[in-house]
Structure 1
Amino acid sequence: MKFMRQKRFTLLVMFTLLVTVIAGCSGGGGAPAEAVNKPPAEENKEVAAEPAEEKQEPAADLKGRAVRISNWWDAAPKGDSEADERARERIKNVEKKYNVKISYLNTDYGATSEKISSSVMANEPFAEIVRVPDGNIWGLMQGGFLTPLDEYLKETKIQPDVIDSMRFGSDKVYGLTGWYTPNDSGMFYNKRLFKEAGLKDPQQLMEEQNWNWDTMLEAAKKLTVDKNGDGKMDQYGLSGAYYVLHEMLIGSNGGKMYDEATQKAAFDSPEALEALNFLHSLYNDHKVIKANAGNDWEDPSKYFSEGNIAMYPGGLWEVEGRILDKLKDDWGYVYMPKGPKAATYLDTVNSTESFVIPKGVKDADVIVKIWEELQDFDNWQENHRLWLENILPDETSIANAMNDNGEVERVYGARAGGLGVKEALGSVTEKFVKGEVTPSTGVAQIIGPAQAGIQKVLKGEKSK
């Protein structure tokens, strides 16, 4: 079973800029005009002391050393956008201030964890700052390959709750991030197919407060058709990878695969089981999801971009590589439909990335400051909107992605990467997609082993 290990292109570049704190600024004013003509103070009167200028500590001089920042793509700002211009200016200022040379490494996604561990063991960390997915963080923490950052984050623009989330269940902070990096997931839809069928599209249903699992299913059934009369469906209501669909449906119903607060697998909750039973029915009863031809990760977006799929649940980061300039029809982007147990639209963050500093990196306190000064703390919303304007087809889709109306609630505390939870649930979903097992039976079989596996990872035990 192949799970997501793809490059996230520009989205992750932009999400490196993202934070939830906006810095305030204060203006200084001169003395009132009438003070100029006041007589000198009498001899016995106290004279107000001039406020002492706050002395700034001189920046550390790192003597021209390289500060290497590793991502799984080339993150150096090379474009002519305003955001890239600002990024280059920040790099220039940091290089001058700390006497360093910033460089960006393009490290293969799957090799990142091994490169950290092997280079730390050799006492030569391959980079000063490394982006890692949460699926790698647990083993690196338990193996002692990362630098604890608590002491260096006492004065920071990162929100306290985000810093706390970078503990990943431990008593130390190991991650540097100003922002969770979710997929910002939702539903892509083909406007042409809805129009030809005379159906209200997801945007219209959303505006009528009627975009939910039932209306999605109703549309999917009507849009799954045999156009040429050969007895085979050549247009489908939905496409997707089963392990993406179960994540998004569980989240849209208020459920989680894993609960960070309790440190337990949660895909046996009523919300999750309802979502799994619904997914089972989409595949086996209603048959509205196009079967993949052998590549569960690549096929669904390919089908959508070919114009034969009405709805494709996915992440915004997919647009540039999978939809833009490929799908010739008009299309749009909306939230995932509400599940029966959801009071609002939900975007559950099941994964996140963070920047870490490998153990053995010298001057880690200064490296933290450098990382912060490279971030665009004040313009993240503007930068994100500019990026969305380049990839989404219309203002309505952009407003949805920006959550301008505030109808989407982003739910944290469900990160499951590296704990075996996704793999465990995927082993069940893969079977019931084929009708080999019901969700309740399959979940009952693997919830116990999944929980045992979680505890092994959290305790730092190695699987035999």
Structure 2
Amino acid sequence: MKQMKKKKPMLLILLTAVLLILSACSGNNAGNTTATQTPAATEEAPAPTEETEPPAADLGGKEIRISHWWDATPVGDSEADELARERIKKVEEKYNVKITYLNTEYWSTTEKLSSSVMAGDPFAEIVRLPDGFIWGLMQGGFLTPLDDALNNTRVEQDVVEAMRFGGENVFGLESWYNPNDTGMYYNKRIFREAGLKDPQQLMDEDNWNWTTMLDAAKKLTVDNNGDGKADQYGLAGAHYIFSELLIASNGGIIYEEAAQKAVFDSPESMEALNFLHSLYNEHKIVKENEGNDWEDPAKYFAEGTIAMYPGGLWEIEGRILDKMKDEWGYVYFPKGPQASTYFDPLGQTAAYVIPKGVEDAEAIVKIWEELQDFDNWQESRRLWLENVLPDESSIANAMNDDGLVQRVFGGRFGGLGIKDQLDSVTGKFVKGEITPSTGVAQVIGPAQAAAEKVLSGEKAKEDAAKKAEEAEAAEEAKEE
């Protein structure tokens, strides 16, 4: 990763900057007041008053840089891009600003934000942070608290509260949460040829659960060519995806934000992990990956050699659409024994943030809000789904039209090191090398310690000091 060019004595300067940031107050931006138009006094009864919007801040032609890990500039000819351009134009005129979109490499975003804040020159006014990276920056003092700026916001209150990430202050911005982002893809041909009810039919009967999924997967794991080995399997996936979805589908969570506690040793979670162990070792209905746990399962599904594949809607365009030859569908992930409804986990979430040191933070929050399509996002989402999903039932499932899927708030763990610990043992027990109870007992303590290190700000300080040392060494090497 690129380091910013700094002069000696670099280590002293950067460490001093870190201490200043970590000890800084969390901001005292004042809330906007609402202007009221008062009628002139007359002898007649006063005309009804109208509440008017306060004058927009004039930012004097300032460039508002918005960073994503893709180019978010709306340059297409779609209706969505047209509307986005109209919103940008209105914002630019209203606040006297210039909106610019930056394309920042995914893994470099956090370092770029922290190093530019330490240098006193944030690289962007609004930054889309990748999943899980907000914790360290939040605890390290690199972000602007946004509570005051979100007075009278159009963002739903549950979303605002979720942007506290279990802490006291709001540090993130998000417009909404999609109702259902992960579920189960299934191959209609495979189910039809076997004469089995497919997941959509089972769901329509309110009979789509772990038991019926397992029953179908066992019947669909077969040796078609007679060589004594299964060449078609009921399921494929990555063990670390299965573990998260199974725990959530049984009403469990991996981490409890409010209590700041790793809880993947709860009864609901252990039941899910034991079921995962049985899928691989007892029932043997999960196709083994050939070296790439992330890429292989989607490839198997596209090739038509597995019946079911758990995954996210965002995977469709790159991994399924135009690659899948068979008919397919999308349903909710099946219910676990302890669940009365379907659950969609929210273990990680990206968020927009405003780096510490950005001026006019309140006005910038208002600008961000006015760039969002609050009125049409569900319609836009449905239009997109109509273009990528194969049938009306799949679209209705993805939109959660029947309201049966619940998002699991308050259980995000991304960036805390918790899932890394859990994944290290699920990778072993899906191979039969260890039991879930033994594995979980080994890592629940280290998982808690990893989270506490991030939440205390200790990890952020260590990372900042390490970056400072690396920058100092690089500078000295250049001078030599």
Query: Could you tell me the TM-score, scaled by structure 2's length?
Result: 0.85
Within 5 Å, which residues of 2 pair with 1:224-303? 224-303=221-300
Q: Give the deviation of 1:89 after TM superposition.
A: 0.9
The superposition leaves residues 423-464 of structure 1 with CA deviations (integer Å, 9 ceiling, x where unpaired) of: 011011000011000001111111122112222222222398
The superposition leaves residues 388-409 of structure 1 with CA deviations (integer Å, 9 ceiling, x where unpaired) of: 1111111110001111111112
Question: What is residue 62 of structure 1 aligned with on the other side?
Answer: 59
Within 5 Å, which residues of 2 pair with 1:128-167? 128-167=125-164
Q: Give the deviation of 1:168 after TM superposition.
A: 1.6
The superposition leaves residues 124-156 of structure 1 with CA deviations (integer Å, 9 ceiling, x where unpaired) of: 211111111341111111221111111211121
> Quick check: 1:345–1:409 contact (8 Å CA) kept in 2?
yes
The superposition leaves residues 353-409 of structure 1 with CA deviations (integer Å, 9 ceiling, x where unpaired) of: 110001111211111111000001111211111111111111110001111111112
Q: Secondary structure at the residue paired with 2:356?
A: coil
Question: What is residue 394 of structure 1 aligned with on the other side?
Answer: 391
Uncovered stretches (5+) of structure 1, i.e. residues with no partner: 1-44
Q: Give the deviation of 1:52 after TM superposition.
A: 4.1
Question: What is residue 440 of structure 2 aligned with on the other side?
Answer: 443
Question: What is residue 195 of structure 2 aligned with on the other side?
Answer: 198
Question: What is residue 212 of structure 2 aligned with on the other side?
Answer: 215
Q: Give the deviation of 1:316 after TM superposition.
A: 0.5
Question: What is residue 456 of structure 2 aligned with on the other side?
Answer: 459
Q: Which residue type is aligned with residue 107 of structure 1?
A: T
Change (3 A) 1:444 1:56: closer
User: Which whole-Å CA distance do the structure 1 matches of 2:276 and 2:53 have between them?
Assistant: 59
Question: What is residue 3 of structure 2 aligned with on the other side?
Answer: none
Change (3 A) 1:458 1:182: farther
Question: What is residue 36 of structure 1 aligned with on the other side?
Answer: none
User: Which whole-Å CA distance do the structure 1 matches of 2:52 and 2:334 have between them?
Assistant: 54
| Aligned equivalent of 1:314, options 287, 311, 315 | 311
> Quick check: 2:179–2:399 contact (8 Å CA) kept in 1?
no
Change (3 A) 1:128 1:280: same
> Quick check: 1:68–1:104 contact (8 Å CA) kept in 2?
yes
Q: Which residue type is aligned with residue 202 of structure 1?
A: P
Q: Secondary structure at the residue paired with 2:45?
A: coil
Q: Which residue type is aligned with residue 207 of structure 1?
A: D
Q: Does the alignment pair 1:122 with 2:146?
A: no
User: Which whole-Å CA distance do the structure 2 matches of 1:187 and 1:55 have between them?
Assistant: 48
Q: Secondary structure at the residue paired with 2:133?
A: helix
| Aligned equivalent of 1:305, options 278, 302, 323 | 302
User: Which whole-Å CA distance do the structure 2 matches of 1:166 and 1:52 have between them?
Assistant: 36
User: Which whole-Å CA distance do the structure 2 matches of 1:384 and 1:181 have between them?
Assistant: 9
Within 5 Å, which residues of 2 pair with 1:74-93? 74-93=71-90
Q: Which residue type is aligned with residue 357 of structure 1?
A: I
Q: Secondary structure at the residue paired with 1:135?
A: coil
Q: Give the deviation of 1:268 after TM superposition.
A: 0.5
Q: Give the deviation of 1:414 after TM superposition.
A: 0.8
Q: Which residue type is aligned with residue 229 of structure 2?
A: K
Tell me the matched-pair count.
420
User: Which whole-Å CA distance do the structure 1 matches of 2:271 and 2:423 have between them?
Assistant: 16
> Quick check: 1:91–1:374 contact (8 Å CA) kept in 2?
yes
Q: Secondary structure at the residue paired with 1:462?
A: helix
The superposition leaves residues 87-142 of structure 1 with CA deviations (integer Å, 9 ceiling, x where unpaired) of: 11101111111122212112121111101001111222111111113411111112
The superposition leaves residues 261-315 of structure 1 with CA deviations (integer Å, 9 ceiling, x where unpaired) of: 2211111111111111111011011111111111111111111111111100011
> Quick check: 2:180–2:405 contact (8 Å CA) kept in 1?
no
Change (3 A) 1:203 1:53: closer
User: Which whole-Å CA distance do the structure 1 matches of 2:178 and 2:100 have between them?
Assistant: 22
Uncovered stretches (5+) of structure 2, i.e. residues with no partner: 1-41, 463-480
Within 5 Å, which residues of 2 pair with 1:41-56? 47-56=44-53
> Quick check: 1:181–1:353 contact (8 Å CA) kept in 2?
no
Percent identity over the alignment is 72
Q: Secondary structure at the residue paired with 1:115?
A: helix
Q: Which residue type is aligned with residue 352 of structure 2?
A: F
Question: What is residue 337 of structure 1 aligned with on the other side?
Answer: 334
| Aligned equivalent of 2:414, options 413, 417, 441 | 417
Q: Secondary structure at the residue paired with 1:66?
A: strand
Question: What is residue 189 of structure 1 aligned with on the other side?
Answer: 186
| Aligned equivalent of 2:368, options 359, 371, 375 | 371
Question: What is residue 356 of structure 1 aligned with on the other side?
Answer: 353
Q: Give the deviation of 1:182 after TM superposition.
A: 8.1
Alignment RMSD (CA, Å): 1.7
